Structure 1
Amino acid sequence: MTDDTSKGQARPVPASRIARLGRLSTMTAGVAGNMAARGLGQLGQGKRPTMRDLLLTPANVRRVTDQLAQMRGAAMKVGQLVSMDTGDVLPAELTEIMARLRSDAHFMPPAQLKKVLKAEWGEGWLRRFDKFDVRPIAAASIGQVHRARLKDGTDLAIKVQYPGVARSIDSDVSNVGALVRMSGLLPRGFDLAPYLEEARKQLHEETDYLREARYLTQFRLLLAGDDRFGLPQVRDDLTTPDILSMTYVPGAPIEDVAELPQETRDHVARSLIDLLLRELFEFGVMQTDPNFANYRYDPETGRIVLLDFGATRQIDPGVVALYSRLFSAGMAQDQGAYADILMELGVLAPDTDTAHRDQILKMMEMGFADLRGAPTYDFAATDVPRQMQVKGMALAEDGFVPPPLPIDVLFLQRKFGGVFLLAAKLRARVPVAEMLQSYLTNRTDCVA
């Protein structure tokens, strides 16, 4: 969820299925018109235009991202999932188009917002508040967040769901999937269907704010007494399936920590990595969205503020056991165990080309060797992630198409990558190998 709407615009969210389909149809027609005009122009110059060159013009990219961002909901979520979870195999152009959706900050105009609040809270809802800011402090694909203060002085953060988002999920996903396929930019053999289905299921879960409230309360209990973290408290009396009301917890953007002393940067990164390991190996439940805006930092208390539990999910114990075995094999330099474990995880398939399989195993060992290389891992000094990205793109260009990953694996990889990127952003130095080993030591499933 983006936490800066200062550059965003108040744009009504199309609520009906017909209106949302109309948006997509208008966008598609506009893109097709641009392609036709550009193609005729190139033919007139004696050039032979290609589909990619015609589609990926600045005007078309702007049209697609603006329309999907204005629709929010599934239209925006599919783009976020595709760009974040499959960016290593999709063409860079398509990844860039979809990734732009992550930074959008359009929000509902006040009139539409008040209509939603009246429908949820009834007439006279404003009398309960001393103040309610109609301009949101955060906006994302599902809803937007507002500051408010009750008559008793309690400061709240209130997340309001965009109207029509829940009802339009299934049709939105189908329509956006058709649009992506129409682009002709997906690698040959790439199966988009599992990602579309996961986007559909995740959206249905995330639009249930009562579900998110339960997970927020669960994490408050799990982290009770841990002074490293601060979490909002749910206000049940003002929470509905479409409105999540919480106490407001102050904090600055987590990226601001990058300007603080090394000791503070290390502490924040180490705390988040430790939380990730606890979620995986102790809690069995994980907040799987590593968007930087879901973390904030309170310089007065030194606490990391944890926000947005809509993407929280239970992790299959069998998947946890496989990751435990994989990490143990990596830390013990047992390269012979990699292939079998990756096969069980679904990263490799029985029909994976031998050359591709060998390259993936080499990349796996490269990552573990980097982790084992020094007692303290310097996130700012390593270039191994970049090397692995280059090798991953080379695999894609050579025709490798990964099998559809199990959903738990998909979300875990997203969380690992996001926390790594944040630690790199903070230029942190963390004893990752030692921390990981401490969680593996007492597990009985570490033997491959």
Structure 2
Amino acid sequence: MARMARSRAGRAAQLGGLAGTQAARLAVQKTGDLMRSDARAEAAAHARRALLAQQLVATLGTMRGVAMKLGQMLSLVDIGIVGPENRSLFQSALSTLQDSAPTVPWSVMSGQLERALGAPPHVLFTEFDADPVAAASIGQVYRARLANGARVAVKIQYPDIEAAVVADLKNLRTLLSVYRLIHPALDTAALADEFEARIHEELDYRIEADHTGLLAEAHRGHPFIRIPEVVESLSSRTVLVTEWLDGRPLREIYTAPRSDRNRVAEIVFRFYAGTPYRLHHYSGDPHPGNMLLLDDGAVGFLDFGLCKRIDTRTAETELAVLRAGIDGDATRVLDLMESRGFARGSTLSEQAAYDTFLRVFGWYLCDREAEIGPDDVKELMALISRAGDSAGVSVRPFNLPADHALRGRAELQLLAILAHLRPRMNLHTIAQEWIFDATPVTELGLAQRNWELRR
């Protein structure tokens, strides 16, 4: 494993080189569009882009921290850094970052555990498997057993990862500079500030324990959603111990019969899209490595370090704009978008705002049965990355308020996850439950409503 650069200068050099490569590639691509290339030139360009994807994996995977988390996001969603003809190659190369990262030896991690909890593993646990079951952006997860026989997951933060993350955050604008080439209207400084605040929270496992405990309590006994319980007595700022959930990776259902994929897709959609309105609390990091398929048909959801609460007023405003969009009230949509800082009426027509709104959220606001697949993600990303199309639809005139950045990222990643499942369903009828408090019409919706009534 390559040594992880911890200093700001060392990590800045890696990030700066990465961003510079992408900026140069984008400039060359724009120039190349004006020139006619022969087969040999095209083959060479393809080879260079393939090498670029491999370099991105090597750089982001080894760095962990913020850069690693960016790599996990890119493995689901290509924001325009790599050309569409190489998107599959790029995502395949980055897919190794979804479930794991380069591991740190147990001799190092055991010392971190002992320093955090004040005793060695053999004193705290009756069994402890020194081989990690997962290696993520800021920590590794191990399997263990308590004296009462309960199996638990033990997440240990990497030693010195905080210094590496702080260096990443100081250089975050270098990463965002790549995206500014695609969408220059964004206030990237404000976005960087928001992302920094959330990442600092993620470094404190006590905050993650609070998020996990809140969600576990809210879903205890749920018919198809499982959240692991926290073992508070063995958790600290750098160690988090939770109930062990036995399950299979989400990717195992990608090739299952459509009915199975539809069911899992509905569960995933309900959890990530409905929870912000049911609980005013949501996970900002949906990706396949944070979900498990359980034997009883439920889906287990993990890793709540990157979460955020939303206040009642914000939630109600969001629901109001969704209702206005469904009702076709373009005037109301623009007014509400302007009040939340997404748009300015002085620079946008009502119709332009409404058309763009539907293009961004239509995948679950439009009342129709449809298959969700990679083309839906490509269409949304094309909308974000281009100046506009023949209909004048574009997100360029719009702002993404910093306090909505995590939410926007989560919704985009949710769509990407659903695209991997390729379900055929009417998400609108499900979303109506939290948008209009409508009576459920699906089997899962009725099961959840009955459970809520019993509680």
Q: How far apart are the structure 2 equivalents of 1:212 and 1:235? A: 12
Unaligned ranges ≥5, structure 2: 25-44, 439-455
Partner of 1:43: none
| Pair 1:302 & 2:290 matched | no
| Pair 1:279 & 2:275 matched | yes
Higher mean C-alpha displacement, 257-266 vs 377-386? 377-386
Select which of 422, 433, 439 maps to 1:427.
Answer: 422
User: What SS does structure 2 have at the residue aligned with 1:259?
Assistant: coil
Q: Contact 1:253–1:297 (CA<8 Å) still a contact in 2?
A: yes
Q: Contact 1:345–1:409 (CA<8 Å) still a contact in 2?
A: no
User: Cα distance, 1:430 vs. partner?
Assistant: 3.4
| Equivalent runs, 1:116-131 vs 2, <5 Å | 116-131=112-127
Q: CA 1:350–1:320 in 2, change beyond 3 Å: closer, same or farther?
A: same
Partner of 1:349: 344
Partner of 2:210: 214
| Equivalent runs, 1:319-358 vs 2, <5 Å | 319-350=314-345, 352=347
Q: Contact 2:57–2:94 (CA<8 Å) still a contact in 1?
A: yes
Q: How far apart are the structure 2 equivalents of 1:85 and 1:173? A: 22
Q: Letter of the aligned partner of 2:386 in structure 1?
A: A
| Pair 1:361 & 2:349 matched | no
Partner of 1:246: 242
TM-score, length-scaled by structure 1: 0.76
Q: How far apart are the structure 2 equivalents of 1:108 and 1:212? A: 22
Q: How far apart are the structure 2 equivalents of 1:320 and 1:28? A: 38
User: Cα distance, 1:344 vs. partner?
Assistant: 2.2
User: Cα distance, 1:13 vs. partner?
Assistant: 4.4
Select which of 3, 7, 22 maps to 2:10.
Answer: 22
Q: Deviations over 1:296-323 (max 9, x none)?
A: 111x211110101111210132321222
Unaligned ranges ≥5, structure 1: 1-9, 37-52, 444-448
Select which of 167, 170, 179 maps to 1:171.
Answer: 167
Select which of 111, 115, 118 maps to 1:115.
Answer: 111
Q: How far apart are the structure 2 equivalents of 1:59 and 1:384? A: 27
| Equivalent runs, 1:52-131 vs 2, <5 Å | 62-63=54-55, 65-77=57-69, 83=74, 91-92=81-82, 103-104=96-97, 105-131=101-127
User: Cα distance, 1:129 vs. partner?
Assistant: 3.1
How high is the sequence identity, in percent, across the aligned residues? 23
Q: Deviations over 1:63-91 (max 9, x none)?
A: 5653443231234345667x599965x54
Q: How far apart are the structure 1 equivalents of 2:289 and 2:431? A: 26
Q: Letter of the aligned partner of 2:237 in structure 1?
A: P
Please provide the CA RMSD for this pair: 4.0
Q: CA 1:323–1:68 in 2, change beyond 3 Å: closer, same or farther?
A: same
User: What SS does structure 2 have at the residue aligned with 1:157?
Assistant: strand
Q: How far apart are the structure 1 equivalents of 2:113 and 2:415? A: 38
Q: How far apart are the structure 1 equivalents of 2:192 and 2:318? A: 25
Higher mean C-alpha displacement, 204-213 vs 425-434? 425-434
Partner of 2:436: 441
Q: How far apart are the structure 2 equivalents of 1:175 and 1:292? A: 27
Q: How far apart are the structure 2 equivalents of 1:345 and 1:23? A: 35
Q: CA 1:30–1:373 in 2, change beyond 3 Å: closer, same or farther?
A: closer
Q: Letter of the aligned partner of 1:196 in structure 2?
A: A
Q: Letter of the aligned partner of 2:10 in structure 1?
A: G
Partner of 1:48: none
| Equivalent runs, 1:154-193 vs 2, <5 Å | 154-178=150-174, 181=177, 185=181, 188=184, 190-193=186-189
TM-score, length-scaled by structure 2: 0.75
Q: CA 1:80–1:396 in 2, change beyond 3 Å: closer, same or farther?
A: farther
User: What SS does structure 2 have at the residue aligned with 1:395?
Assistant: coil
User: What SS does structure 2 have at the residue aligned with 1:233?
Assistant: coil
User: Cα distance, 1:173 vs. partner?
Assistant: 1.4
User: What SS does structure 2 have at the residue aligned with 1:76?
Assistant: helix
Q: Contact 2:185–2:398 (CA<8 Å) still a contact in 1?
A: no
User: Cα distance, 1:147 vs. partner?
Assistant: 1.4
Q: Contact 2:77–2:377 (CA<8 Å) still a contact in 1?
A: no
Q: CA 1:374–1:61 in 2, change beyond 3 Å: closer, same or farther?
A: closer
User: What SS does structure 1 have at the residue aligned with 2:161?
Assistant: coil
Partner of 2:441: none
Q: Contact 2:228–2:242 (CA<8 Å) still a contact in 1?
A: yes
Q: CA 1:278–1:380 in 2, change beyond 3 Å: closer, same or farther?
A: closer
Q: Deviations over 1:69-127 (max 9, x none)?
A: 3231234345667x599965x54469989976674321212232122123223353323
Q: CA 1:360–1:394 in 2, change beyond 3 Å: closer, same or farther?
A: farther
Q: How far apart are the structure 1 equivalents of 2:176 and 2:197? A: 19
Partner of 1:262: 258
